[in-house]
Amino acid sequence: MKKQILLFMLIIFGSGALSAQIDMSDSTVQVISYWKLGDVQDYHFTESEIVLTNEDTMSIEVNSFDVDIKVSDSTSVGYILEWTRSNFQFSSSNFLDVQLQAILSDIPIILATDVYGSNVQVLNWETLSNAVNDKCSLLLMEYTDKPTLLTTINQTKRKYISKASIETFVIRDISQYFTYHGAKYKLGETITEDIKIPNNYGGDPLDATAAMVLDELLPENNTSIIKSFLNINARQLTAVTYDFLKSLNIVEGSLPSYEDFPTVTKQIWGGSEIHSNSGWVIYSQESEQVTSGDDVTLKERIIEIVN
């Protein structure tokens, strides 16, 4: 019901920009943000992770949080946004995991975009890095006698050590939101491109093949649905995964030789419904599957507009 009310309001008050993005004459859409200073939208995010071994469920985690997006500046070259997460809810009872995953709760992430709402950058990365460093320092003192937990805390610290690491590891919810902004799409026409993606273990980026397609035009709602698929080079992913595990100094004999190590595959797919007059995302879903031998990890993130 909230989604229907919002769509009605956007249709009534934003209809003047329809021709700027949807062109029914050639079945195309260009995703552009038409935002004003002071605009605010609220969203609910749900993230889940399921781990399977031999098709048996080993663990299930479901987390959620709210996001407030505020346009704090609008200029001829782009937008400045405040992206604030809050109201974290966790299925896990692990106190440390909860503290680390919600470590930026109620702290605005200041973003800059171009005029299309794409090319997202984190402006206040130093403030975020310092805040996380201070919180992690307290946790390190609290868990000083638990080496495994200390490793987990230090891994979190490293994610916030630089602008590049924050934009790679910390703002994946933001990256999903802006996946389709800035480009022009034609109904049913798949755009395929070979790209480079960050290596989560460090080192050189990995090769991947990405595809996007305008799946539906919904002129009655002034929205479009765009879908995407990403396949990461399995040979490269297997090699960096093996090297990472080897660097952990696992007990000798527990890690097989590289020749016997199972191939690691990773696919990411999803889609978003985007309001064509404003560029606000109405709904978005992104799924990820990582497979290695009999082990499968499934992740999903859903974004829903709530006002």
Beta-carbon count within 10 A of 228 CB:
20
Q: What is the pLDDT of residues 203-236, one digit of tens each?
A: 899 999 999 999 999 999 999 999 999 999 999 9
Domain boundaries, the chain: 22-120+171-305
Encoded tokens for 170: 């910390």
Angle between helices 147-159 and 125-142 (to 10 degrees): 170
Strands 109-114 and 121-122: antiparallel
φ, ψ at 22 (rounded to 5°): -95, 130
Give the distance from CA 294 to its chain's centroid.
26
* Distance of alpha carbon 86 from alpha carbon 66, whole angstroms: 5
Q: How confident is the model at residue 15 (pLDDT cuts 50, 70, 90)?
A: very low
Q: What is the pLDDT of residues 262-296, one digit of tens each?
A: 999 999 999 999 998 899 999 999 999 999 999 99
* Distance of alpha carbon 96 from alpha carbon 100, whole angstroms: 6
Q: How confident is the model at residue 253 (pLDDT cuts 50, 70, 90)?
A: low
Q: What is the pLDDT of residues 55-106, one digit of tens each?
A: 899 999 999 999 999 999 998 899 999 999 999 999 987 889 899 999 999 9
How many residues in total does the chain contain?
A: 307
In whole angstroms, how far apart are CA 166 and each of 3, 172, 211? 31, 9, 25
What is the secondary structure of the chain as a DSSP string? -HHHHHHHHHHHHHGGGHHHHEETTTTEEE------TT-EEEEEEEEEEEEEETTEEEEEEEEEEEEEEEEEEE-SSEEEEEEEEEEEEES---HHHHHHHTTTTT-PEEEEEETTS-S-EES-HHHHHHHHHHHHHHHHHHTTT-HHHHHHHHHHHHHTSSHHHIIIII-HHHHHHTTTTT-EEEBTPEEEEEEEE--TTSSSPEEEEEEEEEEEEETTTTEEEEEEEEEE-HHHHHHHHHHHHHHTTPPTTSS--GGGSPPEEEEEEEEEEEETTT--EEEEEEEEEEEETTEEEEEEEEEEE--
Looking from the CA of 30 toward its CB, the CA atoms found within 13 Å total 16
pTM recorded for the entire structure? 0.89
* Distance of alpha carbon 295 from alpha carbon 303, whole angstroms: 27
| CA angle (117, 123, 129) in 5-degree steps | 135
Max CA pair span of the chain = 67
Mean pLDDT of 127-132: 97
| 161 conformational bin, left if phi > 0, alpha if psi -120 to 50, beta if neither | alpha
- Which one has a higher pLDDT value, 248 or 1? 248
pLDDT higher than 90, residue 2? no
CATH 1.10.10 fits 22-120+171-305, yes or no: no
φ, ψ at 132 (rounded to 5°): -70, -40
* Distance of alpha carbon 157 from alpha carbon 137, whole angstroms: 9
